[in-house]
């Protein structure tokens, strides 16, 4: 049985913030390279499936492309969360030198009880849509064969049953070889990246915790406001001469409640998910750094093994040269992905903070308008004799 959710209508997810005048200025930056793109992917139309053994959500993944490696110009398939997880694992196996975008956390986010609620499903849909768009925009990941399968195959089960990729086995071997070897030191540029990621994660984690406390306090304040407003209305029913201004105050507080509720929803649905995505992004980058360290450790171990052999060798063994090539490949890919990540981060946080500023301005403007509306009710009233 398929149950369509009310929020199945496609929603623009190019920006986590509002579409107000402040953010409209930023849209031109996002559209500059649209004409050069040859692959477009969107995630929409979430549906709830109720089966005998389980209940789950699937999402429609629509692909439009002019690339030669695709047999058709357009595809439409349905995928559930575990399919996206399979794709990410395959990308990590087959592209170990690249930064793989993070998926939204599998478990229900704090404060959300029902993982089938419209709010949770829509938040996840946006995150999954962004996940695929990150891959689509990547010059290497977007050409990965597993990504092609994910976008085009009607049934992924046959592909999921395939064994672990050869590259994955190779990296398990590298871990085994370097398990007892301690890396001398990271190159300075990669050590700086590691320090930056540690600090970045710490700062974002602090902002996330404070933002959650602010939202909690806003919701508690909202409960008080909802009890506060009706008191003035009840009071106005007891005193006829004051009924009009008291009813005005009650309505004003009601308008402020609505504005605060919208602000809290925006922070929960737009602000927090971006913070958490980048916290996960930083962890993904740290994992790539660790893989780079393992390859460097393997290379250093092989060099030491060669140096310990007394016989003269006219040249470095082939396996050492291959290992050196892997280190250089890792370094080049990691630096390129780090630069791309920094560019995306600047753009995303610019939009995020502009959106937050815009939403706060709107909130205070609505409250100001509400309170100003009752001033005429309190002025130029004849005194009671």
pLDDT of residue 2: 47
For residue 16, give the nearest of 328, 234, 281, 267 by alpha carbon: 267
Q: 19 with 9: CB under 8 angstroms? A: no
Is residue 284 located within the same domain as residue 333? yes
Residues 212 and 269 placed together within one structural domain of the fold: yes
Per residue in 22-69, pLDDT (tens digit) is: 444 444 445 445 556 889 999 999 998 888 888 889 999 999 999 999
Q: How far apart are CA 53 and CA 70, in angstroms?
A: 35
Same domain, 135 and 284: no
Query: Alpha-carbon distance 134 to 91, whole Å?
Result: 13
Higher pLDDT, 104 or 78: 78
**Range of 15-19, 158-162, 374-378 with top mean pLDDT:** 374-378
| Spatial distance between the Cα atoms of 340 and 344, rounded to a whole number of angstroms | 6
Residues 358 and 268 in one domain: yes
Q: How many CB atoms lie within 10 A of CB 84?
A: 21
* CATH number where 227 lies: 1.20.1270.60
- Per the domain annotation, does 10 fall within a domain? no
Q: How confident is the model at residue 20 (pLDDT cuts 50, 70, 90)?
A: very low
Structure tokens at 198: 């540690």
For residue 13, is it within any domain?
no
Please tell me the predicted confidence (pLDDT) of residue 312.
Answer: 56
User: What is the rounded distance in angstroms from the CA atom of residue 76 to the CA atom of residue 64?
Assistant: 9
382 in any annotated domain: no
Task: Give the structural domain span for 121.
Answer: 35-157
Q: Check whether residue 41 and residue 114 sit in a common domain.
A: yes
User: What does the pLDDT read at residue 308?
Assistant: 73
What is the pLDDT, as a whole number, of residue 181?
A: 58
Tell me which H or E stretch contains 284. helix 272-308
Question: Which residue has tokens 């692909």?
Answer: 63
3-class secondary-structure state, position 122: helix
Residue 385 in any domain: the answer is no
Q: Answer whether residue 115 shows pLDDT above 60.
A: yes
Do 150 and 265 lie in one domain? The reply is no
Q: Are residues 210 and 71 in the same domain?
A: no
Q: 146-152 long-range CB contacts below 8 Å, 24 or more apart?
A: 146/87, 146/90, 146/91, 146/94, 147/87, 147/91, 148/69, 148/70, 150/61, 150/79, 150/83, 150/86, 150/87, 151/41, 151/61, 151/63, 151/75, 151/77, 152/63, 152/70, 152/71, 152/72, 152/75, 152/77
**Distance from C-alpha of 152 to C-alpha of 263, rounded to nearest angstrom:** 39
Total structural domains within the chain: 2
Question: Is 196 in the same domain as 342?
Answer: yes
- Does 82 share its domain with 205? no
Residue 294 lies in a domain: yes
All residues at 6 or more sequence positions from 192 whose CB lies less than 8 Å from its CB, including other chains: none
Q: pLDDT tens digits for 125-162?
A: 999 999 999 999 999 999 999 999 999 998 888 888 76
Q: Is the pLDDT of residue 240 over 80?
A: yes
Give the CATH number, domain containing residue 144.
Answer: 3.30.1520.10
Question: 69 in a domain, yes or no?
Answer: yes
Question: Of 137, 157, 177, which one is at a domain's C-terminal end?
Answer: 157
Alpha carbon distance 276, 130 (integer Å): 13
- Distance CA(60)–CA(10), nearest Å, equals 10
Same domain for 139 and 217, yes or no, is: no
Decide if pLDDT at 269 tops 60. Answer: yes
Do both 199 and 142 map to the same domain?
Answer: no
Indicate whether 1 belongs to any domain.
no
Q: Quote the mean pLDDT of the chain.
A: 83
Q: What pLDDT, on a 0 to 100 scale, did the predictor assign at position 52?
A: 81
Any residues with CB less than 8 A from the CB of 123 and at least 6 apart, and which?
104, 109, 269, 273
| Residue 177 covered by a domain | no
172: region left, alpha or beta (phi > 0 left; psi from -120 to 50 alpha): alpha
Over residues 62-83, mean pLDDT: 93
Q: Are residues 362 and 294 in the same domain?
A: yes
Q: For the packed helices 118-137 and 272-308, what is the interaxial angle rounded to 10 degrees? A: 40
For residue 147, give the 3-state DSSP assignment: helix
């Amino acid at each position: 049985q398929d149950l369509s959710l009310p929020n199945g209508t496609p929603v623009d997810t190019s920006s986590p913030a509002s579409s107000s005048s402040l953010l409209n200025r930023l849209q031109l930056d996002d559209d500059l390279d649209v004409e050069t793109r040859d692959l477009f992917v969107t995630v929409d139309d979430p549906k709830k499936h109720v089966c005998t053994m389980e209940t789950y959500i699937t999402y429609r993944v629509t692909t439009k492309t002019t690339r030669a490696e695709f047999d058709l110009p357009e595809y439409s398939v349905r995928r559930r969360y575990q399919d996206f997880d399979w794709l990410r694992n395959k990308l990590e196996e087959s592209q170990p030198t690249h930064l793989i975008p993070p998926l939204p956390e599998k478990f229900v986010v704090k404060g959300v009880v029902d993982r089938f609620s419209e709010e949770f499903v829509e938040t996840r849909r946006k995150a999954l849509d962004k996940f695929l768009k990150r891959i689509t925009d990547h010059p290497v990941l977007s050409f990965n064969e597993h990504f092609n399968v994910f976008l085009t195959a009607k049934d992924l089960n046959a592909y999921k049953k395939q064994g672990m990729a050869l590259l994955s086995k190779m990296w398990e071997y590298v871990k085994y070889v370097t398990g007892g070897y301690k890396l001398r030191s990271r190159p300075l540029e990669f050590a700086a990246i590691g320090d930056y990621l540690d600090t970045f994660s710490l700062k974002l984690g602090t902002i996330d915790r404070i933002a959650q406390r602010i939202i909690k306090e806003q919701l508690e304040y909202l409960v008080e406001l909802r009890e506060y407003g009706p008191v003035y209305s009840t009071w106005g029913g007891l005193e006829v001469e004051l009924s009009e201004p008291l009813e005005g105050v009650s309505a004003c507080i009601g308008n402020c409640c609505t504005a605060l509720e919208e602000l809290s929803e925006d922070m929960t649905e737009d602000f927090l998910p971006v913070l958490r995505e980048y916290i996960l992004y930083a962890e993904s980058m740290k994992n790539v750094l660790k893989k780079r360290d393992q390859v460097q450790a393997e290379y250093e171990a092989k060099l030491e093994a060669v140096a310990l052999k007394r016989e003269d060798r006219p040249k470095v063994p082939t396996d050492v040269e291959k290992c050196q090539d892997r280190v250089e490949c890792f370094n080049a890919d990691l630096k390129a992905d780090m630069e791309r990540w920094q560019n995306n981060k600047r753009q995303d946080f610019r939009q995020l903070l502009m959106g937050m500023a815009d939403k706060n301005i709107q909130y205070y403007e609505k409250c100001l308008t509400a309170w100003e509306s009752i001033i005429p009710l309190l002025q130029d009233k004849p005194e009671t004799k």
